Structure 1
Amino acid sequence: MKTVCMYLLVLGFICPALAQERLYEEMYESGELPAVVLKKAGEEFSVYYPDTTNPDGRVLKLEKSFVSYKVEVEKGESKSYFLLFELEDGFLSATFNEKGKLTSVVEKFKNVKLPEPVRKSLASKFPEWILVKDKYLYIQKYGSVKIKEYKIIMKKGNKIRRVVVNEDGVIIRGKS
């Protein structure tokens, strides 16, 4: 009887621990990452908001690499630090001040998988148009998102149309 109670007790401690790890993995896979505090710089915190709506795996992978990267601030005359993560068709760059506080992040990728609201918006406003190219631009400064848009080139016959759309599918520039 003692053995059965001990097994149940151990099992009771192991199950919740394993469930928490799976929950984080599910959040990462679904793209629902929370804002991340990268580092405390003096009395200020560096905050980075990963893009939670982008379904492209390359973007998520680069964001995860950036969040897990440890920035070492060296004593010296440097006013700021620049960090660059590159892929063949995109990059993530970050700038830190002399104290190691994150000041800006720029993400730029070509030919990404578009989020569902963007795809639906384009399909409804531009029927029979074919997507030729797209670029994704995400800019964050001092912990707030400044730009998050998709620059899209579409073609229908001999006509070419350039459209800029935000993450909700709202057309910012270009004719509908």
Structure 2
Amino acid sequence: MKKSILILAMIGLGFQSYAQETDVLYSATLKRGDVPQVVLKSIEANFPDYIVKDYYAVPIDYVAGNVYVNRDVDPSDIDSYQIAISSKDRRLIANLDENGKLMSTVENIKDTPPPMAVSRSIASAYPGWTIGKDNFHMVNYVNGKTVEHYRFLLSKDGKTKRVHTDGNGKILK
């Protein structure tokens, strides 16, 4: 339960990082020296062709199974990190725990069409709606399994609708 809440919080923070260029809501910018070596090595191993842009602390505390956002970030007391990385044509936010374990990634897939199965599913469920150009590809890594989700902003006749699908196109929300 604790990890599920953390993953959801980190995905939400990942969305926030794309929305704000200079400061991410509920996170604190870190210097490379404040990030544990195990986290840095994990980023290098998992994303060898990417360049690190920014390091963030995710200030979340757990107390009796409840999640609290802690705005006072002490570099020695951080449990999770967001690393903004990019390659030639991709930009991701990677979420890692203090041991360097990759928990999730969020990618803005601006101006990139979704997989065919996802496009067909949306077209079938929402006839006449158009998929916007600013969408998200979200990946969670849980117990050795990869779970993919997409978030789309659809539009039709001046109305908008946010839709979530799994990696195969099943409409989730």
- When normalised by structure 1's length, the TM-score is 0.45
What TM-score comes out, normalization by structure 2 length?
Answer: 0.45
